[in-house]
Amino acid sequence: MSMYNKLFTKIVDSSIWLEPSPTRIVWLTFIAVMDEDGFVQFASIANVAHRARVTLEEAEIAIKCLEEQDLNSSDPDNNGKRVERVPGGWMVLNASKHREMVTRLIIKEQTRERVRRFREKKRNCNADVTPSDTETDSISDTNKTSLSSKLDLNTLAREILTFLNEKSGRNYKPVEANLKLIVDRLKEGYEPRELRQVIALMSRKWKGDSKMDEFLRPKTLFNKTNFANYSGELKDV
């Protein structure tokens, strides 16, 4: 599915803009291709170099820079680290902030458009919008938002379950018992990337272990207490 990500002008004032051109190009490439969770799917640094149109050596230097702490970064989270290696690619660590900025911008644009349509309707009809019209629109928007949110969480849960199947070599079905555990963790405020990182972490620890391999399953990984413990280990991933 084709998609695009917004780029904000503040990037030119960030510390990454002080880096050599190949590093800036690789960073822009990551922002351009990351999915809604911040996951950037590249099998190797060679793939990064190919997509960013830089040399392999330049890509290696860029990735090293993006994975290291940046004390000059304006973003204190993750000590200025921008990306983290995960199975199948990299995670952009501040993707959630980028998404929040985009969401605020979209809401602002939608509000501006609603105001424009309202004023145009008022001019054409030469009458104010009645309270009942406003209340109806508000209820309709609320219902649509609630339904959209529920569908989005279920979609994310299915994608995360697919990621678990890929990492564990299993075939857990997207049934309510499995999806509900994932949706519940998302509702608690965990980011989708955190669920992916926990899966990747525990897969590296348990896969192939005769005693622990069987616990690479939804009811163990996404149990409320278990997940809180596993997510606490992500700083060491």
- Say yes or no to pLDDT of 79 above 90: no
Are 163 and 222 within 8 A, CB to CB?
A: no
What are the pLDDT digits (tens) for 35-67? 877 889 999 999 999 999 999 999 999 999 999
Confidence category of residue 81, pLDDT binned at 50, 70, 90? confident
Are 199 and 167 within 8 A, CB to CB?
A: yes
Gap between the Cα atoms of 78 and 188, Å rounded: 21
- Say yes or no to pLDDT of 4 above 50: no
Structural domains in the chain, sorted by start: 9-95 (1.10.10), 146-236 (no CATH)
What are the pLDDT digits (tens) for 196-222? 999 999 999 999 998 899 999 999 999
Residues facing 85 on adjacent strands:
90
Calculate ∠ Cα 229-235-237, nearest 5°: 95
Tokens of 19: 């880096």
pTM over 0.85: no
Count CB neighbours of 99 within 10 A.
Answer: 17
- Say yes or no to pLDDT of 27 above 60: yes
Across 78-83, average pLDDT: 81
Gap between the Cα atoms of 227 and 25, Å rounded: 36
